[in-house]
C-alpha cells in the first residue's frame, strides 16, 4: 500500500511485520520515533512482542542477547552514543552467533554535542562481526529491515545485522512508502544452538586458544558466505515485491570517467550531482555503497574515484576511502564531508568531482588539501 | 520541482502540514518529500519545514535554498527570521494574518488561519493548530488538489474538524 512515512516509521512498520518476539530498546535522538512507534504497536496489541523497558543501551543489547539465545527473533534500535555504550555487547552478539537485527540512526559523536547525521558511530562497530547496510530512502530503509531479519537468521549466516539510516536526513524525512505483505518471506527462526532445557549445554565458558581461533574463523567464513545469502535474499525480494537493490547502487557508471562513492543519503544527492555534471560534458557516475559489511568487491576499471566519507578515523583517514584503497589497490580523491550533519549539496558534490586531486584528502568546509 | 518552505512556531502544526502536503501530492500521483530542520526545538520556538513536489522521485536531501513558495504561520517570526531569504523572483508568500502584508516583487496572500482553527475549536494546549488549514490554502493555490488534500487529511486524522478547517481555508482563501 502506497503511503508516506518517515525513515523511523518505515523501520518500525517493517519490524512489526517481521514479528520479533522480544524488543528491548532505549530511546535516543534521532532514533526515538522507532521506540515510540514500536511501543505503541505492542501496547495496542498489533505486535505480540515482549517489550522490555531497559535502563541503558548496554542493557538493551544484553536483553536481546539473552532473548535471542533462547531462539526467538529480537530487535533493537539505537544511535551514536547509545551504540557506543552497547559496544561490549555488540561484540558478544556477533561472537555468540545471534541473529539480532538493530536499526542504527547514524548520528555524530560528542563532544561537541551534536545530534545530526554522521557515520562514525557505525564505523566504530565495523570490526565486531555485524553485517552493516546503509539505506538512502524511506522505502529502502523499510525493504532492507525486512531483508535484514531473513539474512541474519539464515543458517549460513547467523550473525547480527545493523540497518543504518542517516539521522534526521532520513530518519525524519517524510517520503513515499509502499508497504508489502511479507507472507512467508521471513521464515520462522531455527537457532541451532538455542538454549534447550531438555538438552543442557554450557554457554560463555572459558575457551582456549585453539577453539577460540576456530570460532573467529567461523565468523569470518559466515561473513563471506553472507554475500551469497544477501544476493539470494535480494533476488527473492525482487521476485516477490519488485524492488531490487544489491551491494551497490550504480548510477550512470557504465561510461563514466569518474565515479563518486558514498553511503546513505549522500549517494542520492550524488546522483543529482552526476546529472548536473553530465550536462556540462563531464562523464560522472555514482556508486552508492549499500553493504559495508561484508565489504563487496568493487569494479572501477581504471576510472578516477572520488570517495566521500561522512566519518573519520583519526590518524588514518576516511574509513570508506581506506577500505577502497586497500581492497582495490588504487589511489582515490578522499573527501571528508557532512560530519555532524554538515550540509552537502549536489553542487558541492559536483565541485568535489571537478576539483578532484587523486591521492589527496580534502576536508570540505575546512578548505585545505592534506 | 516545486519547493515550499513553512515558517512556524513549535506546536502550530507546521511540520505536520508539510507531511500532509507531501501525502496529498502523492495522492495526486506525484512524488514528494517533507522534512523539518531540527535543532533544539520546543513549543513556541521558530521552526522551518520543507516540502518538495516533483513529477519524478525526489533525490535531493539538502535544505531548500530557493523556494517557490513561503508560508508564514506566525508573522511574529519575521522579526528574527528573514522569511523571504532565497525566495524565487515572482515567488509566493502566504501569511497567516487577518491583515494584508505586501512583499515587493512577490505574490502576496494573507488569510486568517488562526481564526479558522479557533472557529473549528482546533486548539491543543491553548494554541490553535493550523496544519490542515494550510493544506486547504495550498489546494486553493493549485499546488495540490482539494480532493487529495481531503484524502490525505482523512488518512492521517480521524477528527472531522481537521477536514472542515481545510475546507474553510479553501473557501475563504482569495486568489
The yes-or-no verdict on residue A210 having pLDDT over 60 is yes
Q: Note whether A269 contacts B61, CB cutoff 8 Å.
A: yes
How many residues belong to chain A? 370
pLDDT of residue A329: 94
H or E element that contains B151: helix B146-156
- Interface touch A345/B62, C-beta < 8 Å: yes
Q: Does residue B106 carry a pLDDT above 60?
A: yes
Per residue in A185-205, pLDDT tens?
999 999 999 999 999 998 888
CB-based burial label for B174 (10 Å; 0-12, 13-18, 19+)? exposed
pLDDT tens for residues A266-317?
999 999 999 999 999 999 999 999 999 999 999 999 999 999 999 999 999 9
Mean pLDDT of A175-189: 97
Distance CA A314, CA A180 (A): 42
| CA-angle at B60, arms to B57 and B62, nearest 5° | 155
Contact A268 B155 (CB under 8 A): no
Nearest Cβ partner of A4 from B22, B38, B65? Answer: B22
Alpha helix (H) residue ranges in chain A:
7-18, 32-43, 57-68, 80-85, 87-95, 120-123, 138-153, 209-241, 266-279, 319-328, 346-354
- What pLDDT, on the 0 to 100 scale, is given for residue A368? 60
Chain A residues with CB-CB distance to B under 8 A? 2-4, 30, 115, 166, 168-170, 172-176, 265-266, 268-269, 271-272, 343-346
Kindly list the structural domains of chain B, giving each domain's residue range(s) and its CATH number in brackets, ordered by start: 2-172 (3.40.920.10)
Residues A325-348: pLDDT tens digits? Answer: 999 999 999 999 999 999 999 999
Backbone angle region of B67, left / alpha / beta, with phi > 0 → left and psi within -120 to 50 → alpha: beta
pLDDT in tens, B107-129: 999 999 999 999 999 998 889 99
Mean of per-residue pLDDT scores for chain B: 95
Q: Which of A43-52, A109-118, B31-40, B54-63 has the lowest mean pLDDT?
A: B31-40
Per-residue pLDDT band for B43 (boundaries 50, 70, 90) equals: confident
Residue of A175, A251, A288, A348 to mutate for B, most B C-beta atoms under 10 A: A175
- How high is the pLDDT of residue A367? 66
pLDDT at A9 over 70: yes
Q: What are A306's three cell numbers?
A: 572520488
Position A150 scores a pLDDT of: 98
Predicted local confidence at residue B9, as pLDDT = 92
Residue A291 CA to residue A230 CA, distance in Å, equals: 9
Specify the pLDDT at position A126.
97
Q: Which residues from chain B sit within 8 angstroms of residue A2, using beta carbons?
A: 26
Residue B40 pLDDT grade (very low, low, confident, very high; cuts 50, 70, 90): low
Phi and psi dihedrals of A294, rounded to 5? Answer: -70, 145
Name the 3-class secondary structure at A225: helix
> Which of B17, B20, B61, B135 best tests the A interface by mutation, with the highest count of A CBs <10 A?
B61
Cβ-Cβ contacts under 8 Å, A271 against chain B: 59
CA distances from residue A269 to B88, B132, B142 in whole angstroms, order as listed: 22, 31, 28
DSSP letters spanning B153-169: HHHH---HHHHHHHHHH
Q: How many angstroms separate the CA atoms of A169 and A165, rounded?
A: 8
**Sequence ranges of chain A with CATH classification 3.40.50.970:** 2-241
Which whole-number Å values give the CA distances from A288 to A335, A341, B74, in the listed order? 15, 19, 41
Do A172 and B36 make contact, defined as CB atoms within 8 angstroms?
yes
Q: What is the pLDDT of residue B125?
A: 85
Residue A343 — φ and ψ, nearest 5°?
Answer: -65, 130
Distance between CA atoms of A27 and A34, rounded to whole angstroms? 8
Percentage of chain A beyond pLDDT 90 is: 97
Give the minimum alpha-carbon distance from A243 to chain B in angstroms, rounded to a whole number: 15
Residue A204 is predicted with a pLDDT of: 85
Neighbours of A97 (CB within 10 A): 20
A208 Cβ partners below 8 Å, 6+ apart? none
Residues with Cβ within 8 Å of A277's Cβ and at least 6 positions away in sequence, in order, are A283, A284, A350, A353, A354
pLDDT at A106 over 60: yes
Contact A325, A296 (CB under 8 A): no
The three three-digit cell numbers of residue A284, written as one number: 560522472
Work out the minimum CA distance from A173 to partner chain B, whole angstroms: 5
pTM of the predicted structure, to 2 decimals: 0.96
Placement of cell 543489547 in the chain:
A61
Distance between CA atoms of residues A251 and A270, nearest Å: 9
Contact residues, chain B, for A169 at CB < 8 Å: 35, 61
For B95, phi then psi, to 5°, come to -115, 140
Nearest CA in chain A to B30: A176
Average pLDDT of span B52-57: 98
Taking one residue from A and the other from B, the number of pairs with CB-CB distance under 8 angstroms is: 59
Summary mean pLDDT of chain A: 97
CA distance A239 to A221: 28
- Residues of chain B in contact with residue A265, where contact means CB-CB under 8 angstroms, are 61
Taking an 8 Å cut-off on Cβ atoms, the answer to whether A174 and B33 are in contact is yes
Judged against a pLDDT cut of 80, whether residue B41 lies above it is answered with: no
Asked if A3 lies within 8 A of B36 by C-beta distance, the reply is: no
pLDDT band at A21 (very low <50, low <70, confident <90, very high): very high
What pLDDT does B122 receive? 93
* Average pLDDT of span B52-56: 98
* Residue of A370, A256, A230 lying closest to A309 (CA atoms): A370
Is A106 within 8 Å of A118 (Cβ atoms)? yes
Range(s) for CATH 3.40.50.920 in chain A? Answer: 248-363
Question: Looking at CA atoms only, how far is residue A279 from chain B in angstroms?
Answer: 17
Residues counted in chain B: 175
- pLDDT reported for residue B71: 98
Determine how β-strand B107-111 pairs with β-strand A22-25.
unpaired
Closest CA to A287 of A246, A322, A318: A246
How distant, in Å, are the alpha carbons of A179, A232, A250, A273 from that of A246?
A: 19, 10, 9, 22
Nearest neighbour of B23 by CB, restricted to A4, A343, A345: A4
- Tens-digit pLDDT profile for residues A223-277: 999 999 999 999 999 999 999 999 999 999 999 999 999 999 999 999 999 999 9
- On the question of pLDDT at B38 being above 80, the answer is no
Residues from chain A that touch B17, judged by Cβ atoms under 8 A, are none
Kindly report which listed range (A38-42, A202-206, B15-19) carries the lowest average pLDDT score: A202-206
Q: CA A95 to CA A13: how far, in whole Å?
A: 29
Rounded average pLDDT over A36-40: 98
Instruction: Pick B55 or B44 by higher pLDDT.
Output: B55
Could you tell me the CA-to-CA distances from A138 to A142, A172, A263, A357, B170 in Å, in that order?
A: 6, 9, 15, 34, 31
Query: Percentage of residues in chain B with pLDDT exceeding 70?
Result: 98
pLDDT at residue A135 tops 90: yes
Which has the closest alpha carbon to A146: A13, A247, A1, A288? Answer: A13
Contact: A3, B23; criterion CB under 8 Å: yes
Average pLDDT for residues B97-110, to the nearest whole number?
A: 95
CATH 3.40.50.970 corresponds to the domain A2-241:
yes
Inter-chain contact A269–B62, Cβ cutoff 8 Å? yes
Question: Under an 8 Å CB criterion, which residues of B touch A?
Answer: 18-19, 22-23, 26, 31-36, 38, 58-63, 65, 155
Under CATH, to which class is A248-363 assigned?
alpha beta
How close is the nearest chain A Cα to the Cα of B69, in Å? 19
Amino acid at each position: 500500500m502506497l503511503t508516506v512515512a518517515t525513515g523511523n516509521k518505515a523501520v518500525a512498520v517493517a519490524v512489526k511485520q517481521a514479528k520479533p518476539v522480544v524488543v528491548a530498546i532505549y530511546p535516543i535522538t534521532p532514533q526515538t520515533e522507532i521506540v515510540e512507534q514500536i511501543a505503541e504497536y505492542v501496547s495496542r496489541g498489533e505486535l505480540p512482542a515482549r517489550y522490555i523497558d531497559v535502563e541503558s543501551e548496554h542493557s538493551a543489547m544484553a536483553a536481546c542477547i539473552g532473548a535471542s539465545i533462547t531462539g526467538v527473533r529480537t530487535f533493537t534500535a539505537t544511535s551514536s552514543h547509545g551504540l557506543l555504550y552497547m559496544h561490549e555487547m555488540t561484540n558478544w552478539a556477533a561472537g555468540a552467533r545471534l541473529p539480532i537485527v538493530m536499526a542504527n540512526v547514524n548520528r555524530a559523536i560528542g563532544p561537541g554535542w551534536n545530534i545530526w547525521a554522521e557515520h562514525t558511530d557505525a564505523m566504530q562497530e565495523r570490526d565486531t562481526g555485524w553485517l552493516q547496510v546503509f539505506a538512502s530512502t524511506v522505502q529502502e530503509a523499510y525493504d532492507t529491515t525486512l531483508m535484514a531479519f531473513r539474512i541474519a537468521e539464515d543458517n549460513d549466516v547467523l550473525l547480527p545485522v545493523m540497518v543504518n539510516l542517516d539521522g534526521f536526513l532520513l530518519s525524519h524525512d517524510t517520503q513515499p512508502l509502499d508497504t508489502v505483505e511479507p507472507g512467508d518471506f521471513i521464515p520462522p527462526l531455527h537457532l541451532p544452538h538455542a538454549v534447550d532445557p531438555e538438552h543442557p549445554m554450557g554457554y560463555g565458558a572459558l575457551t582456549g586458544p585453539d577453539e577460540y581461533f576456530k570460532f573467529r574463523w567461523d565468523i569470518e567464513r559466515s561473513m563471506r558466505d553472507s554475500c551469497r545469502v544477501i544476493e539470494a535474499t535480494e533476488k527473492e525480494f525482487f521476485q516477490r515485491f519488485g524492488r531490487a537493490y544489491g551491494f551497490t547502487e550504480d548510477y550512470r557508471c557504465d561510461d563514466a570517467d569518474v565515479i563518486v562513492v558514498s553511503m546513505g543519503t549522500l549517494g542520492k544527492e550524488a546522483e543529482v550531482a552526476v546529472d548536473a555534471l553530465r550536462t556540462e560534458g563531464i562523464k560522472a557516475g555514482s556508486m552508492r555503497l549499500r553493504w559495508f559489511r561484508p565489504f563487496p568487491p568493487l569494479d572501477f576499471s581504471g576510472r578516477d574515484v572520488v570517495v566521500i566519507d561522512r566519518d573519520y578515523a583519526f590518524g588514518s583517514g576516511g574509513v570508506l576511502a581506506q577500505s577502497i584503497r586497500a581492497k582495490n589497490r588504487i589511489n582515490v580523491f578522499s573527501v571528508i564531508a557532512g560530519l555532524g550533519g554538515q550540509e552537502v549539496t549536489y553542487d558541492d558534490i559536483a565541485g568535489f568531482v571537478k576539483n578532484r586531486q587523486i591521492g589527496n584528502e580534502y576536508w570540505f568546509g575546512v578548505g585545505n588539501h592534506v | 520541482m516545486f519547493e515550499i518552505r513553512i515558517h512556524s512556531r513549535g506546536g502550530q502544526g507546521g511540520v505536520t502540514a508539510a507531511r500532509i502536503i507531501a501525502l496529498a501530492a502523492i495522492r495526486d500521483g506525484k512524488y514528494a518529500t517533507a522534512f523539518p530542520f531540527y535543532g533544539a526545538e520546543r513549543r513556541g520556538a521558530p521552526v522551518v519545514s520543507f516540502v518538495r513536489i516533483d513529477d519524478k522521485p525526489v533525490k535531493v536531501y539538502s535544505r531548500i535554498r530557493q523556494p517557490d513558495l513561503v508560508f508564514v504561520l506566525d508573522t511574529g517570526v519575521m522579526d528574527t527570521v528573514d522569511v523571504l531569504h532565497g525566495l524565487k523572483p515572482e515567488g509566493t508568500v502566504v501569511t497567516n494574518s487577518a491583515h494584508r502584508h505586501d512583499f515587493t516583487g512577490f505574490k502576496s496572500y494573507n488569510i486568517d488561519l488562526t481564526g479558522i482553527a479557533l472557529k473549528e475549536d482546533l486548539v491543543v494546549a491553548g494554541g490553535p493548530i493550523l496544519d490542515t488549514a494550510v493544506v486547504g490554502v495550498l489546494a486553493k493555490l493549485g499546488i495540490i488538489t482539494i480532493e487529495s488534500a481531503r484524502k490525505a487529511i482523512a488518512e492521517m486524522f480521524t477528527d472531522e474538524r481537521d477536514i472542515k478547517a481545510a475546507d474553510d481555508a479553501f473557501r475563504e482563501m482569495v486568489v
